[in-house]
Structure 1
């Protein structure tokens, strides 16, 4: 029996890229459903998505009145998926950075029950980045080194936005408490998944620099991630120390 799968795609001014992304997804995975979460794109992305949804039952559109960030768009999509009994809920970029061809790798691991969160990783053996400027390469690589040093999550690509969650993970986590955006949202969700005791697997993907539209990366997103990771890291290390001291005292 096939799992009921939803791919959540947040959009803001992705009118040019979204048709290509949807075409590729349905070519590779014709049985999936897609939810487009549009933050009031002024370029007509939401209206175009509505037109597609009218003729294709696999497509749904969730309109939000303002641009309030990637994290809140995904949370809205996750909540929508849980209300409709989807078993595997995926994150996927609209801009062509994630290859539809690679989605099967994530789904096969999730379907087999080998992990509760499957991450499409750029930084495990076999992972590749195509056409990134050096500044982006070092920013992403450095961010993940920093996250592991600060938090010890044991995940090579905690900032990755290509993911497949099982329903059980999203039901367990307190989604209403997630307020992070951008890079930070992905780290936040990874952190919560680890702390809740769920299993994480990483599979290698090919990550391609977008050809259409504009990147949403900004200085405020980077700053948010740096500051919050430091706080989460301290909190996690304190908990680890308390557990160690508790075990030590129990043995003496």
Structure 2
């Protein structure tokens, strides 16, 4: 709890048995997190069994693998149902240092931001020395630059696995209509920006270890193309040239925020 706000951490997990406990321990070490929710997307390892040993954690397991986006949909529904005021999403692969939660949520409670992203990119040397593959660094920089221009933002990293949401964001956006794949995150951000929510970021230390999750080059390429298409749809939508289903059901918040 911070400033009377219930803080719930969600972990969309897949084959995270080796790192889940370490991530959980760092999350709970700060003393401000009220609830942890782990959703296992039908892992091939014993992620669900490890999750069941985490004190006080709510654990759900998909009977079949549904995808990263579908995992998050379950996470956010459970978080809202539990009464969360602030929802923190952190990958349970121990790549992102969750000890920054205690600082990042302050931007939400002080009503400075509605969404806070953890930025892995401060300097090129630091990022590469931390283990990010060169091709991922280059593609991240190119995509993030394009997305900043298209969305009219100034974020350091659009593709972070550490994100914090004000409850109102998740209640306003129709996330059920989003992709069940990795592009879910970019669609959610595009919707939030379209609705007028304020997005900010903070630096977050990262680790690229053998147990850290990663997608291969082919899936990274597909993801990059999908990101470009989401930005293009956003530009066409705000310009009034086209209407896209992904931006439906947002008028109520638009009117309220004017």
Short-chain TM bin: 0.7 to 0.9
Partner of 1:199: 198
Gaps of 5+ in 1: 244-252
Gaps of 5+ in 2: 242-258
Aligned partners of 1:46 and 1:61 also within 8 Å: yes
Over 6 Å off, 4+ runs: none
Structure 1 residues 2 and 222, CA gap change in structure 2 (3 angstroms):
same
Aligned partners of 1:125 and 1:204 also within 8 Å: no
Partner of 2:53: 51
Partner of 1:131: 131
Deviations 1:45-101 (A, max 9, x none): 10121133xxx22x1101111222221111110011111211001110111111122
Larger radius of gyration: 1
Partner of 1:249: none
Q: Displacement of 1:179 after TM fit?
A: 0.8
Calculate the aligned-residue CA RMSD, in Å: 2.4
For normalisation by structure 1, the TM-score amounts to 0.84
Number of positions where the alignment pairs a residue of Structure 1 with one of Structure 2 = 237
Alignment of 1:9-158 (within 5 A): 9-29=11-31, 31-52=33-54, 56-57=55-56, 59-123=57-121, 129=127, 130-158=130-158
Aligned partners of 1:122 and 1:128 also within 8 Å: no
Q: What secondary structure, in the 3-state scheme, does the structure 2 residue paired with 1:95 have?
A: coil
Aligned partners of 1:128 and 1:205 also within 8 Å: no
Equivalent of residue 2 in structure 1, options 4, 29, 40: 4
Aligned partners of 2:186 and 2:230 also within 8 Å: no
Aligned partners of 2:7 and 2:84 also within 8 Å: yes
Q: Displacement of 1:152 after TM fit?
A: 4.0
Q: How far apart, CA to CA, are the structure 1 residues paired with 2:193 and 2:126?
A: 25
Aligned partners of 1:88 and 1:164 also within 8 Å: yes
Q: How far apart, CA to CA, are the structure 2 residues paired with 1:128 and 1:119?
A: 18
Q: Displacement of 1:17 after TM fit?
A: 0.8
Aligned partners of 1:16 and 1:212 also within 8 Å: no
For normalisation by structure 2, the TM-score amounts to 0.82
Q: How far apart, CA to CA, are the structure 2 residues paired with 1:39 and 1:239?
A: 33
Partner of 1:250: none
Deviations 1:130-186 (A, max 9, x none): 22232222232222123334544443322112111010000000011111522x222
